[in-house]
Amino acid sequence: MSKLNRSVWAEVSLDNIAHNVRQFRSWIGPNCELMAVVKANGYGHGALETAYTMIAHGTNWLAVALPEEGVRLRRGGITAPILVLGAVGADELDVCVAADLAVTVFEPHIARLLSAAAVTQQKLARVHIKVDTGMGRLGLLPQDFVNLVELVKSLPGLEIQGVFTHFAQAEQMDLSYTYWQWERFQAVREELRARGIAIPYVHAANTPATMFFPASHLDLVRVGLGIYGMYPDARRPFELRPALNLKTKVAFVKRVPAGSSVSYNSTYVTAKETSLAVLPIGYADGLSRGLSNRGHVIIRGTFCPIVGNVTMDHTMVDVGDLPCVIGDEVILLGTDGNLEIQAHHWANLLGTINYEITCMLSSRIERVYL
C-alpha cells in the first residue's frame, strides 16, 4: 500500500481484476481474444496500474477513447496492441502512428490523412473500420461501409486490422434490437466476403453482449465494465469481483440535540439527540450531491445514513449512538461482513448506471493498489 496523502482513498484490488480477466477468458474460450477497455482512466480504477495486471492474466488488447490515453499506456511500458475507440482529430494522427495506436476510422478524410502520416513516418498505421448498425454514434452506415474499406485498402501505409460495430442495448432482457443490429453486421460481413476481403479481427461485443449474446464473440470481445467486477444488470452468468472500494476516515464527531439542522439548506433536522460524523469527502471527489439524505455508508459494521446535503468537501452521516470516534474507517463503496454498498446501489439512487459511478471518482481521490 502506498503512502496516503489524504484520508480519502480508493482501494483497487488487482487480485480481483486478475480474477475477472480469468473469468472472461474462460467464458469466451481459446479462439476469441480479449480487449480490455481502459478508457477514462480504467473506468476510474487507474488505466496503467490495472493494465499491467490485465495483460499478465490473459488480456490481449487494450482500448482507450483518446490518443493521449494510449500514449500514457505506451509511456508506462505497455507493448500490447492498443485501439483508440474514439474519434481521432486530424491533429492527433501523427501521435497515433508514432505510438503504434490503432485508429478507429469511419470516414475518408481521416483515412487519407492517416495514410499521409504513416507514409511520412515510414510506418504502418493500423485501422479498425467502424460500422454503425444502430448505435447512432460513431461509424458509417452499412450501405457506405464497403466503399470505405476499399478506399482504405488502396491507401499506402494503412493496414486494415479490424472491422467492428457497437451494440446499443445488449444489456436488455429483450435482445431483439441487438439481433437486428447483428443481422445488419452480418450483411456487411457477407459483402466483404463476397468481395474477397479478409479482415483479421471482426468484433462487436461489449460486456453485456459478451455475457448475454455469446454468438457475438467473434474474433475478440471489448470488455470494460465487467473487467472491473461490475455487471450490466442483475443477471450473474459468472462470478465477478468488484475491484474498487472507496473509503475515508471520520474527520469529526459531535453530539447534537434534537432539532439540529445539518448542512446547506437545512434539508435534515435531527429528530432526537444523536451523533453526527463529518466525513472529509464531498461532491468534488465524486460523492454525488444526489446522495444527500439518500445514501448510506458503513461505519463499525453498521449502515449509517448520509444526512443533509453533501457539500463540496464534506458529508455528514447520522451515527446515532454508535461509539464512533475521529479516525474510524468509513466504507462508502465496498463490503463489511454481510453489509455491502456497490456502484449499482449508488446508481439506483442517482438514476444512472454503475459505469458513471466509478468514472465520477475524481483525481483528488488517491488510488491505492492492493
Amino acid letter, residue 189: R
The grid cell for 156 is: 499506402
Least distance (Å) from ligand PLP to the CB of residue 170?
Answer: 8
Q: What letter would DSSP give residue 157?
A: T
The site for ligand PLP (CB under 6 A) is made up of 37, 85, 166, 206-208, 222-225
- Which residue among the candidates 3, 39, 123, 231 is catalytic per the annotation? 39
CB-closest chain residue to ligand PLP: 224
Q: What is residue 179's three-state secondary structure?
A: helix
- Which residue among the candidates 153, 179, 254, 264 is catalytic per the annotation? 264
Contact (CB, 8 A) for 158 and 118? yes
Closest CA to 104 of 136, 68, 140: 140
The H or E element that residue 244 is part of is strand 244-249
Q: Please, which residue, 194 or 234, has the CB nearer to ligand PLP?
A: 234
**Catalytic annotation on 177?**
no
**Catalytic annotation on 39?**
yes
CA 293 – CA 310 distance, rounded (Å) = 8
Least distance (Å) from ligand PLP to the CB of residue 70?
Answer: 14
Q: What is residue 122's three-state secondary structure?
A: coil
Q: Please, which residue, 116 or 135, has the CB nearer to ligand PLP?
A: 135
Q: Please, which residue, 43 or 346, has the CB nearer to ligand PLP?
A: 43
CA 361 – CA 356 distance, rounded (Å) = 9
Q: Please, which residue, 208 or 242, has the CB nearer to ligand PLP?
A: 208
For CA atoms 203, 204, 210, 213, give the dihedral sign: negative
Least distance (Å) from ligand PLP to the CB of residue 205?
Answer: 8
Residues identified as active-site: 39, 264
